[in-house]
Amino acid sequence: MDLSEDDRSLINVLQIAPRITWQDAGYVLGRHPTTLAAQWERLRTQGLAWVTARLFGDPAHMTLNYVEIDCELRRRDEVEAALCAIPEVVSVEESASNRDLVLTVLTPSWADLTGHILPHIARIPGIVKYQSAMFTAMHATGDRWSLGALSAQQLARLRTVAAPTPGSYSGPLPSSYWPIVQILSRNGRATAMEIAEATGLHPVTARRQLNRVLNGGTLLFRCEVAQNYSGYPVSCQWFASLPPEERGTAVAVVRGFRGLRLCASTTGTSNFTFVLWLRSAADVLDIEDQFLAAVPQARIIESSLTVKFLKRVGVMLNPDTTATGEVIVPEPRSQQLIGRV
Count each helix (H run) and each strand (E run) in the chain, helices first.
Answer: 12, 12
Beta bridge partners of 4: none
Q: Answer whether 265's CB lies under 8 Å from 247's CB.
A: yes
Least confident of 243-252, 288-297, 332-341: 332-341
> What integer pLDDT is reported at residue 340 of this predicted model?
37
Q: What is the mean pLDDT of residues 167-193?
A: 81
Residues 6+ apart with CB under 8 A from 138: 64, 263, 264, 340
> What integer pLDDT is reported at residue 328 of this predicted model?
93
pLDDT at 170 over 80: no
pLDDT at 229 over 70: yes
Q: What is the mean pLDDT of residues 256-284?
A: 94
Least confident of 135-139, 173-177, 247-251: 173-177
Give the Cα-Cα-Cα angle 224, 230, 234 (nearest 5 degrees). 105
More confident of the two residues 330 and 296: 296
pLDDT at 102 over 90: yes
Q: In angstroms, rounded to a whole number, what is the distance separating the alpha carbons of residues 255 and 237? A: 14
> What integer pLDDT is reported at residue 341 of this predicted model?
39
Q: In angstroms, rounded to a whole number, what is the distance separating the alpha carbons of residues 155 and 329? A: 32
Q: What is the DSSP letter of 172?
A: P
pLDDT at 174 over 80: no
Exposed, middle or buried, 2 (CB in 10 Å: 0-12/13-18/19+)? exposed
In the structure, what pLDDT confidence band is assigned to residue 220 with cuts at 50, 70 and 90? Answer: confident
Distances (CA, A) of 177 to 78, 125, 251, 310, 332: 34, 36, 38, 29, 10
Least confident of 59-73, 200-214, 225-239, 302-316: 59-73
Alpha helices in 101-148 (DSSP H): 110-112, 118-122
> What integer pLDDT is reported at residue 14 of this predicted model?
97
More confident of the two residues 337 and 203: 203
Query: What pTM did the predictor assign?
Result: 0.90
